[in-house]
A and B are shown apart, each in its own frame.
Chain A
Amino acid sequence: MASVALSEAEKVYIVHGVQEDLRVDGRGCEDYRCVEVETDVVSNTSGSARVKLGIEDPSQTLGGHLPRSEGLLTFSKSHFGHTDILVGVKAEMGTPKLEKANEGYLEFFVDCSANATPEFEGRGGDDLGTEIANTLYRIFNNKSSVDLKSLCISPREHCWILYVDVLLLECGGNLFDTICIAVKAALFNTRIPRVRVLEDEEGSKDIELSDDPYDCIRLSVENVPCIVTLCKIGYRHVVDATLQEEACSLASLLVSVTNTGVVTCMRKVGKGSLDPESIFEMMETGKRVGKVLHASLQSVLHKEESLGPKRPKVGFLG
C-alpha cells in the first residue's frame, strides 16, 4: 500500500487527536469523507462506475518523474488524500463452472495503475492488486450477494460471466471501502442483454439476442455487501483513514457488511495485534456504519437513475 513518511511528533499528534474524537481534518472517528459517485462513465462496458473519495486538488497531478532518492521510497504526495476508483463490468457468455452448472459467476481483476503512486510502477502494484481481488472474491463467495442463478442461460452450457475490472487511479487511503462502493455501483449500472434459447427439431440450440438494444436484464444489488475498514489507532478505531492515519495504525479490520447489517466476512490486516474486545467493538461499529453507507449509496444511485439518460455527465474532464 502507498505509504507516507511521518515524524514521531506528527504521529503522536494524530493518535492523541483520535483519542479525543477530533481527527486532523476535523472529522469524528466514524465520519467518512465526501464521496462522489457517477455511473455509466465508460461507454463500451455493460456497466461502469467511478467513485471519488475526498477532495481533489485540481492543480496537483503526478506529472513528471521524480527521481527516487537512492532506494528510499518515502514519497510524500502533494495532494489532500483523495482516492479515485474506476470500475468497468463486461458481460460475456461462457460455460458455467462444473460444480455450479446452473449459475453464472463473477471474475475480478484489479489494476493498480502507476498513476496512483510511483510505488505501483511496473510490477509494484501486482501484490496489492491480487490482495484486493482475493478479498473481493471472498466477499462475493456466498449465495446471497448476487443472484447468480439469474445469470444462467441454459444449464451446463451457457451462462453469463461478469468480468469486473477495477482500476485504481489515485490512492489516498481507504482503498477497500471505495472499491466495494464502486463495484456495487457498477453492478447496479450493468445492463445484460436479454437472450433466448431456441431449440429446433434436431436438438441443437441457438441463442437469439433481442432486437431492442434497451431490452436487458439488471442485477439486483440489494444484498451486495460493502466493506468498512476500521483502523486501530491508539485505543480507538477510525473509519475511512487517510494515508497519514494509516501510517499511524498498526492493525486494521476489514468488515464486509450487507445493507441489513449482516456481516459476511471479516479480515484483519496489519502487523499489529488486536485483542478480542477491540475486535468486537470494531465489528459493531462496522455494522452501524455499514448500514448508513448502504442507505446513502442506494439513495444516490436511485437519484442518479431518476435523472434519466439525459442527465449532465461529468465524466473525466469535469
Chain B
Amino acid sequence: MAVEMRLPVARKLLSESVGRDTKKHLVVPGDTITTDTGFMRGHGTYMGEEKLIASVAGSVERVNKLICVKALKTRYNGEVGDIVVGRITEVQQKRWKVETNSRLDSVLLLSSMNLPGGELAEVQAVFSDGAVSLHTRSLKYGKLGQGVLVQVSPSLVKRQKTHFHDLPCGASVILGNNGFIWIYPTPEHKEEDAGGFTANLEPVSLADREVISRLRNCIVSLVTQRMMLYDTSILYCYEASLPHQIKDLLKPEIMEEVVMETRQRLLEQEG
C-alpha cells in the first residue's frame, strides 16, 4: 500500500534540441509566414493582402514549393484512408454515431459495415462540414474486445503504413490516427470467422495484464513529454521501463528518466 505526497515541481519538457540543428519556425494565427508569392499554400495557411498568413498555431513545414503549418494541438481532422478507433455513442436508424475526438461526431453507416457492432473502421469520406464517414472494409476491422483505451492528441500519432502492431512483448497495439490508442492482449490464433462480433470476455492472464499496464504507462509517459508515437518508440520505451515497477512509472521523475533513455536510443538508431 503506498500513498505518496510531494511538493509540486515546475514541470519542464526535456530539451527538444537534442541532436537537432535547425530551430523550428513557430507561428501563431495571424503571423506572416512569407511575402513571397511563389509558394503554394497548404493546410493551416491562407492568402491575405499578398502575404501568406498562418491560421493555426504550429510549426511551418516546407516541402519544395508547398508551405503548410502543422498544428501542435488539434482535434482530429479526418483524411481518407486513415485508421481510427472510436466509441459508439449513439444508434440511429441507418447509422451509428461514433466519437473520434474530432470536431463533430463521425458516422458509421450500416450499409458500409461488414458486421454489426463495428468500432474499428477506416475513413471513407469526409463531409464538407468536417464530419467523417467511416466504413469497416474487411474482417480485420470490427468491434474490439477486452483491452485498454488511451486517449492522446492526434498530432502525436505518426502516420505510418500500418497501424496494427503486434509487439514482441506480448500485447498488441492499434494506433488510431485520431489519437485513440487501443492496447489489447494478442489473440492466440487469428479467427477468420465472426471477426470479434462476440467479444471474448474470459479473464486475461496476469502476465498479459502486466504487459498491457506497462505499455499504457509508457504511452502516457511519451505523451507527457510530447514525443511522437509509433511502434519503435513505444517498444523502446517499454524496454527502458522494464527495470522499474509498473506503478512507479506514474511518478514524474521516473517518467522523465525512461523517456530520456528512449530518446537516446531513438537518436542512436537514426544516426
Tell me the A residues contacting B by CB distance below 8 Å.
5, 7-10, 12-13, 16-17, 19-20, 22-28, 30-38, 52, 55-60, 64, 66-67, 69-70, 72, 74, 76-80, 288-289, 292-293, 296-297, 299-300, 303-304, 312, 314, 318
Q: Are B97 and A69 in contact (CB under 8 A)?
A: yes
- Most A-side CB within 10 Å, residue of B148, B210, B214: B148
Bound Cα distance from A131 to B206, whole angstroms: 38
B169, CB-defined interface residue at 8 Å: no
- With A23-B213, A78-B153, A300-B6 known as contacts, the answer to whether A9 contacts B144 (CB < 8 A) is yes
Q: Are A34 and B252 in contact (CB under 8 A)?
A: yes
Neighbouring B residues of A304 by C-beta, 8 Å: 7
Bin chain B's interface residue count. 35 or more
Bound Cα distance from A17 to B150, whole angstroms: 17
Q: Which of B220-252 contact A (CB under 8 A)?
A: 220, 223-224, 226, 245-247, 249-252
Shortest beta-carbon distance, B183 to chain A, in Å?
10
Q: Are A26 and B201 in contact (CB under 8 A)?
A: no
Bound Cα distance from A297 to B7, whole angstroms: 10
B209, CB-defined interface residue at 8 Å: yes
Q: Are A36 and B6 in contact (CB under 8 A)?
A: yes
Summed over the interface, the residue pairs from A and B with CB atoms below 8 Å come to a total of 161
Q: B203, B210, B220: which contacts A80 (Cβ < 8 A)?
A: B220
Bound Cα distance from A240 to B144, whole angstroms: 27
- Most B-side CB within 10 Å, residue of A12, A37, A56: A12
Tell me the B residues contacting A by CB distance below 8 Å.
1-11, 13, 72-73, 75, 87, 89-90, 97, 99, 101, 103-105, 119, 144-153, 179, 199-201, 203-204, 206, 209-210, 212-214, 216-217, 220, 223-224, 226, 245-247, 249-252, 255
Q: Are B146 and A69 in contact (CB under 8 A)?
A: no
Q: Are A26 and B247 in contact (CB under 8 A)?
A: yes
A–B complex contacts, Cβ < 8 Å, 13 sampled: A9-B145, A13-B147, A16-B204, A27-B247, A34-B6, A38-B7, A55-B250, A59-B73, A66-B103, A78-B152, A78-B153, A296-B5, A300-B7
Residue of B with least CB distance to A17: B209
Q: Are A26 and B7 in contact (CB under 8 A)?
A: no
Q: Are A26 and B146 in contact (CB under 8 A)?
A: no
CB-CB nearest 9 A-B residue pairs: A26-B246, A318-B10, A30-B1, A26-B213, A78-B151, A13-B146, A296-B5, A9-B199, A16-B203
Bound Cα distance from A76 to B250, whole angstroms: 21
Neighbouring A residues of B245 by C-beta, 8 Å: 26
Shortest beta-carbon distance, A236 to chain B, in Å?
14
Bound Cα distance from A234 to B6, whole angstroms: 32
Shortest beta-carbon distance, B99 to chain A, in Å?
6
- With A7-B87, A16-B204, A80-B220 known as contacts, the answer to whether A292 contacts B3 (CB < 8 A) is yes
Neighbouring A residues of B89 by C-beta, 8 Å: 5, 69, 72, 74
Neighbouring B residues of A25 by C-beta, 8 Å: 213, 216-217, 246-247, 250
Shortest beta-carbon distance, A88 to chain B, in Å?
17
Bound Cα distance from A34 to B3, whole angstroms: 7
Bound Cα distance from A108 to B146, whole angstroms: 43
Neighbouring B residues of A27 by C-beta, 8 Å: 247, 250
Neighbouring B residues of A33 by C-beta, 8 Å: 250
Bound Cα distance from A292 to B1, whole angstroms: 9
Q: A35, A64, A79, A303: which contacts B3 (Cβ < 8 A)?
A: A35
Bound Cα distance from A33 to B199, whole angstroms: 31
Bound Cα distance from A25 to B225, whole angstroms: 18
Neighbouring B residues of A292 by C-beta, 8 Å: 1, 3
Neighbouring A residues of B73 by C-beta, 8 Å: 59-60
- With A9-B146, A69-B105 known as contacts, the answer to whether A31 contacts B1 (CB < 8 A) is yes
Neighbouring B residues of A20 by C-beta, 8 Å: 206, 209
Neighbouring B residues of A59 by C-beta, 8 Å: 72-73, 153, 223, 226
- With A300-B5, A304-B7 known as contacts, the answer to whether A24 contacts B148 (CB < 8 A) is yes
Bound Cα distance from A55 to B224, whole angstroms: 9
Q: Are A32 and B147 in contact (CB under 8 A)?
A: no
Bound Cα distance from A25 to B226, whole angstroms: 20
Q: Are B220 and A55 in contact (CB under 8 A)?
A: yes
Q: Are A76 and B146 in contact (CB under 8 A)?
A: no
Q: Are B220 and A36 in contact (CB under 8 A)?
A: no
Bound Cα distance from A59 to B75, whole angstroms: 12
Neighbouring A residues of B151 by C-beta, 8 Å: 76-79
Shortest beta-carbon distance, A179 to chain B, in Å?
15
Bound Cα distance from A23 to B214, whole angstroms: 11
Bound Cα distance from A25 to B183, whole angstroms: 12
Residue of B with least CB distance to A14: B148
Shortest beta-carbon distance, A135 to chain B, in Å?
21
Q: Are A12 and B201 in contact (CB under 8 A)?
A: yes
Q: B9, B145, B246: which contacts A314 (Cβ < 8 A)?
A: B9
- Most A-side CB within 10 Å, residue of B6, B73, B153, B216: B6
Given A17-B209, A300-B5; 8 other pairs, CB 8 A cutoff: A16-B203, A25-B216, A26-B210, A26-B250, A30-B1, A31-B1, A74-B89, A300-B6
Bound Cα distance from A288 to B1, whole angstroms: 9
Residue of B with least CB distance to A8: B199
Q: Are B204 and A32 in contact (CB under 8 A)?
A: no
Bound Cα distance from A314 to B149, whole angstroms: 32
Bound Cα distance from A115 to B129, whole angstroms: 27
